[in-house]
Amino acid sequence: MILLDTDIMVDLLRKLPQAVGWFKALGDEEVILPGYVMMELIQGCETKAELRIIKKHLHQTTVAWPSPEDCDLALDLFADLRFSHGIGLLFEISTSNLPVML
């Protein structure tokens, strides 16, 4: 199972060659979008037409919402690995003013 983040989805929707090649290499791997990613993609739409395009391309995609237990685990892992692995969070991804080519 592969959970895709917003950055990857935007790159795929724009048909960037590296993203498309990576996605094709997944083969039959199950791809899931976190519900928050879907919400970010919708937030990035500037018109209802863009929203229709997003919905059309993602209508068969499985959407998953994390459980409270998943969120607790993520918080614990983030706290444990923050400094040892230098990980951080992106709080907002702005895709405005960038064309989506479908």
Residue 90 is predicted with a pLDDT of 47
User: For the whole model, what pTM was predicted?
Assistant: 0.68
Residue 82 contacts by C-beta under 8 Å, 6 or more apart in sequence? 88
If DSSP codes are grouped into helix, strand and coil, which group holds residue 19?
Answer: helix
Average pLDDT over residues 18-43: 92
Per cent of the chain over pLDDT 70 is 85
Pick 2-65's CATH classification: 3.90.1300.10, 2.40.10.10, 3.40.50.1010, 2.40.50.100.
Answer: 3.40.50.1010
Mean pLDDT of the chain: 83
DSSP H stretches of helix in 4-67: 6-13, 17-25, 35-43, 48-58
Hey, what's the torsion of the CAs at 17, 19, 21, 27, to 10 degrees?
A: -150
